[in-house]
Structure 1
């Protein structure tokens, strides 16, 4: 057991690289899914209700509620509405940004300056995502009239969407760890000392 603990203790740098790889996998996968209609439709409540992002859409919340496509189902009038709303164009752009952030963070293994910005962008993206816990009504269980044993709706009862958003707390922390590791490497190099950013 002592040997195992020693191994874990001296492997932190390697585990930070595992964290970078984890960010890459999550960002490329989720960013890549943004080209698909069901994923683009799924982010509409978050974007439409966000004061930081709602300007990307042409329609205002809560109009989108009338045009929801259930996952796995396509309703043409809903797709037409989303096309007019710029749902798909925004989703493609967001997906590309997410993929780029994941790649930048991963490149921190070899290029600390790039990795620093990737980690900071991961942190910033996670802050925006976590703001949805304040701005998006769909992140909490709605009041559907149940009252036994107690009404379990609203804060703190997270819906599936809310649980998905809350996980970005982990991404936020890991982004900072990756950025910090790159900053440490930069501090110890002549690049940092010569102030060439």
Structure 2
């Protein structure tokens, strides 16, 4: 019986490590891409349709806004990856990531291009499908936040 629990605990531990690494890698990589011109152009429909980001875009311009988002994502991804050294900082990064993903999920409602024209509200376009994956990343951020807080309390 103890072996069975050890193997499931080991699997859960490996899964949590893979989840954290994948989450940090995704956020870091996407953050680094925010400095590319094609990514500035790709983000235009999202930021111009968003009530929050459209005003920031007017004030900062498209390139500066993307760079600000990129720096934020790189900082958040770095914090998440810092769990072995700084679990409290990793928890903060994970909570920030959860906020980021809630924000990007709001683009499903504010971006007309997220839906397939003439097919109804629930017919997502390729852009909408891309945004929908953030529900999984939101779950990953919440799991890594809880894991980081658990480790921080044990120290």
State the Cα distance separating 1:6 from its structure 2 match: 5.5
Q: Which residue of 2 aligns with 1:94?
A: 69
- Structure 2 residues not aligned, in runs of 5+: none
Length-normalised TM-score, structure 1: 0.71
Q: Which residue of 1 aligns with 2:122?
A: 156
Relative to its length, the structure with more helix (as a share) is 2
State the Cα distance separating 1:14 from its structure 2 match: 3.1
Q: Which residue of 2 aligns with 1:16?
A: 16
Report whether the alignment pairs 1:110 with 2:85.
yes
How far apart are the structure 2 equivalents of 1:51 and 1:5?
49
**Native 8 Å contact 1:34 1:92 kept in 2:** yes
**Native 8 Å contact 1:17 1:109 kept in 2:** no
- Structure 1 residues not aligned, in runs of 5+: 60-84, 144-152, 190-197
**1:2-36 Cα shifts (integer Å, max 9, x gaps):** x8996344332332121111012111211111111
How far apart are the structure 2 equivalents of 1:19 and 1:43?
26
Q: CA RMSD in A?
A: 2.0
State the Cα distance separating 1:159 from its structure 2 match: 0.6
Q: Which residue of 2 aligns with 1:49?
A: 49
The count of residues paired between Structure 1 and Structure 2 equals 153
